[in-house]
């Protein structure tokens, strides 16, 4: 689907899509060690935390040093060709470690597992085990199988697996914010996307288990949870014990009621599914953040139809208007793809004009590249020249930077409630956090610490960061 990603984010924000390694986990029963890296979406990072919990139950502790690991895992993403190239490069590097330590096992998890299992196992002999997103419970057994000299594989998709009973181990956690998975899979067959094929059909997790996980996080000191799903607005759980149907709006309400000190965010929303019920619930609870990630992908109705997005340009704009009518201060972000099959120059300009209308605070921008197995790969010719795709992407990025700076400049002089997430990377004397609209705020430390809520008056900004001074009572 996608080959180049531009994350227009501040230096202080954790960048989704980068590799990360697990922090050590205290466990007196540790017999062996694992090392894990994750790439791609927030769902992959959340899945790695489930994997860590499963491995810990079977005597594995985490390490940040690959040479000490008995098991190296890489949690993969198939969304972009570049991500696959990065994974293959890392696997080649890990194979060098294995030469020095032959008993070490190397495994691929996640979305690339099904599509490239034969290549990894047989053709390139880069890995010992391959595990799909719905098969993590079988990982300990697969490790044993691989230790016996067999190539271990489980990439079966499930119609009911949600890992609801597994308490994730928070990897590289700041102790303040956490992801909570509420559903898995996707029923939307967007023509450019591999997710329905790599993660299966939608299934919603037990609402009570979600609330319990969020309560536990709050009691451990966490002050923000992000409810995760490929399409959170289609969350639908039937509590048979009470004969109650829980919608996404109802679930948000249940989590928000845990404590007014627990912030609630969510990602991702599909434009066709976000409802007034969701928006009115956000308006009702001060601790549900006024921020929505609403991917549009293109500003052209014809291209949107080819993408099978099930809405038009005009419909999307009306949804944005409705959000701003009910939630005037709501932050809005999006995904955009340039150079999709047959996209004309005029249609590219339609995407730019839609961005001018919406003025997104944050945009994830890509140029299209065909992903094997998708509907687009089967139906359409990838006929927009690469140099044209890249030029259109740069035009889009340049326009978004203008909007981002303008949006930040509008906040100068205002006061925001900021949840402190840590120390700024630029200075030990400064803290950073985010406001309700998901904008990063940096300010002098004073006596404040991670996890505090601080009222900050904004006195300047960059295109990615608000800079201010805490109001001290």
pLDDT of residue 17: 38
Q: 248-256 vs 276-284: helix axis angle to the nearest 10?
A: 10
Phi, psi (degrees; rounded to nearest 5) at 203:
-150, 140
Helix ranges (DSSP H) in 166-206 = 195-199
Dist. CA 9–CA 292, nearest whole Å: 16
The conformation of residue 149, written as its DSSP 8-state character, comes to T
> SS3 for 470?
strand
CB 46 within 8 A of CB 179: yes
pLDDT of residue 371: 87
> SS3 for 305?
helix
Dist. CA 38–CA 47, nearest whole Å: 9
CB 389 within 8 A of CB 370: no
Dist. CA 135–CA 137, nearest whole Å: 6
Dist. CA 463–CA 8, nearest whole Å: 9
pLDDT of residue 25: 45
Q: Could you tell me the strand order of the sheet in which 331-338 lies?
A: 2-7, 362-368, 331-338, 291-293
Dist. CA 304–CA 72, nearest whole Å: 40
CB 270 within 8 A of CB 277: no
For every one of its 473 residues, what pLDDT tens digit does the chain have, with 9 covering 90 and above? Answer: 333 333 333 323 333 334 444 444 444 466 899 999 998 888 889 999 999 999 999 999 999 889 889 999 999 877 667 777 888 889 889 988 888 899 999 999 988 877 777 777 776 678 999 999 999 999 999 999 999 988 899 989 899 999 999 999 998 889 999 999 999 999 999 999 988 888 889 999 999 999 999 999 999 999 999 999 999 999 999 988 888 999 999 999 999 999 999 999 999 999 999 999 999 999 999 999 999 999 999 999 999 999 999 999 999 999 999 999 999 999 999 999 999 999 999 999 999 999 999 999 999 999 998 988 899 999 999 999 999 999 999 999 999 999 999 999 999 999 999 999 999 988 999 999 999 999 999 999 999 999 999 999 999 999 999 999 999 87
Domains and CATH numbers, the chain: 9-154 (3.40.50.12160), 177-409 (3.80.30.20), 415-470 (2.40.50.140)
pLDDT of residue 2: 35
Overall residue count recorded for the chain in this entry: 473
Phi, psi (degrees; rounded to nearest 5) at 290:
-85, 75
Helix ranges (DSSP H) in 259-344 = 276-284, 301-306, 313-326
Closest CA to 320 of 285, 350, 356: 356
pLDDT of residue 14: 35
The burial class, CB within 10 Å (0-12 / 13-18 / 19+), for 329 is: exposed
CB 229 within 8 A of CB 183: yes
pLDDT of residue 123: 63
CB 392 within 8 A of CB 339: yes
Q: 216 vs 209, 257, 292, 356, CA distance in Å?
A: 10, 14, 25, 42
């Amino acid at each position: 689907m996608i080959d180049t990603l531009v994350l227009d984010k501040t230096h202080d924000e954790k960048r989704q899509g980068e590799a990360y390694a697990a922090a050590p986990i205290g466990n007196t029963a540790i017999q062996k060690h694992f090392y894990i890296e994750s790439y791609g979406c927030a769902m992959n990072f959340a899945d790695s935390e489930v994997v860590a919990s499963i491995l810990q139950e079977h005597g594995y502790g985490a390490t940040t040093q690959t040479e000490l690991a008995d098991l190296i895992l890489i949690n993969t993403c198939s969304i972009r060709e570049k991500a696959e190239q990065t994974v293959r490069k890392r696997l080649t590097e890990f194979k060098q470690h294995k030469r020095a330590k032959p008993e070490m096992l190397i495994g691929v998890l996640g979305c690339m597992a099904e599509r490239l299992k034969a290549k990894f196992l047989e053709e390139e002999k880069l890995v010992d085990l391959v595990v799909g997103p719905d098969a993590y419970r079988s990982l300990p057994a697969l490790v044993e199988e691989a230790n016996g000299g067999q190539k271990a594989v489980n990439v079966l998709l499930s119609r009911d697996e949600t890992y609801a009973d597994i308490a994730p181990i928070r990897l590289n956690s700041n102790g303040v914010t956490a992801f909570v998975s509420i559903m898995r899979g996707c029923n939307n067959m967007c023509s450019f996307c591999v997710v329905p094929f790599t993660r299966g059909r939608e299934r919603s997790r037990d609402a009570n288990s979600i609330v319990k996980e969020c309560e536990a996080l709050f009691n451990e000191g966490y002050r923000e949870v992000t409810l995760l799903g490929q399409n959170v607005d289609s969350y639908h759980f039937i509590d048979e014990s009470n004969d109650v149907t829980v919608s996404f709006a109802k679930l948000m309400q249940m989590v928000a009621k845990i404590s007014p000190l627990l912030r609630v965010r969510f990602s991702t929303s599909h434009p066709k599914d976000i409802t007034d019920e969701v928006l009115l619930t956000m308006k009702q609870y001060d601790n549900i953040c006024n921020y929505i990630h609403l991917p549009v992908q293109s500003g052209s109705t014809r291209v949107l139809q080819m993408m099978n997005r099930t809405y038009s340009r005009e419909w999307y704009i009306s949804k944005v208007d409705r959000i701003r009518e009910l939630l005037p201060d709501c932050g809005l972000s999006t995904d955009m793809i340039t150079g999709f099959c047959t996209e004309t120059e005029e249609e590219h300009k339609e995407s730019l004009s839609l961005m001018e209308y919406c003025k997104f605070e944050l945009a994830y921008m890509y140029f299209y590249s065909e992903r094997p197995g998708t509907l687009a790969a089967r139906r359409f010719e990838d006929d927009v020249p690469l140099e044209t795709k890249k030029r259109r992407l740069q035009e889009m990025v340049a326009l978004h930077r203008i909007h981002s700076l303008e949006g930040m400049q509008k906040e100068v002089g205002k006061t925001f409630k900021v949840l402190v997430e840590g120390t700024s990377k630029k200075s030990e004397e400064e803290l950073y956090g985010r406001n309700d609209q998901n904008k990063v705020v940096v300010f002098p430390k004073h006596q404040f610490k991670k996890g505090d809520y601080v009222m900050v008056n904004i006195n300047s900004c960059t295109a990615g960061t608000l800079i201010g001074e805490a109001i001290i009572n």
